[in-house]
Amino acid sequence: MDKELENNWRNLLWANKGLRYLPDAPYPITSVNALFLNDNKLTKVDGLSNITNATNIYLHANQLTNVNGLSNLTSAHNIYLDKTYSGPKLSANTRFCAYNPDSVFPVGYAQKSQLCESP
């Protein structure tokens, strides 16, 4: 990781930093206000698997091929992922799929049906 990256874990402002990966270690806290990880080169977000509550998650403009790291997220206000996401879907019984309503996926971005298997 780049030592110039700010470590404000409640509001992670790492947009447009040229990141190719996140640490595989679990995120240090379970509740965040916002994760700005958009406009990078991330392919997976496994290090986010510890997060259960977030206000906004910005993951668009990456190269995501896997979103398993979001499987424990039970509460979000907005989730921004590229509408072109075509990687594996999360199981319908994951917390992410079971607890996040369609309304947290803004128009113009990936929708729940692209990220979650049908129940």
Q: Using H for helix, E for strand and C for coil, what is the string for 38-106? A: CCCCCCCCHHHCCCCEEEEEECCCCCCCCCHHHCCCCEEEEEECCCCCCCCCECCCCHHHHHCCHHHCC
| pLDDT of the residue at 23 | 87
Cα 48 to Cα 87: distance, rounded to the nearest angstrom: 17
Cα 8 to Cα 10: distance, rounded to the nearest angstrom: 6
Q: Is the pTM of this model over 0.75?
A: yes
pLDDT digits (tens, 9 = 90+) for 61-113: 999 999 999 999 998 899 999 999 999 999 999 999 999 999 999 999 999 99
Within a 10 A sphere around the Cβ of 102, how many other Cβ atoms? Answer: 9
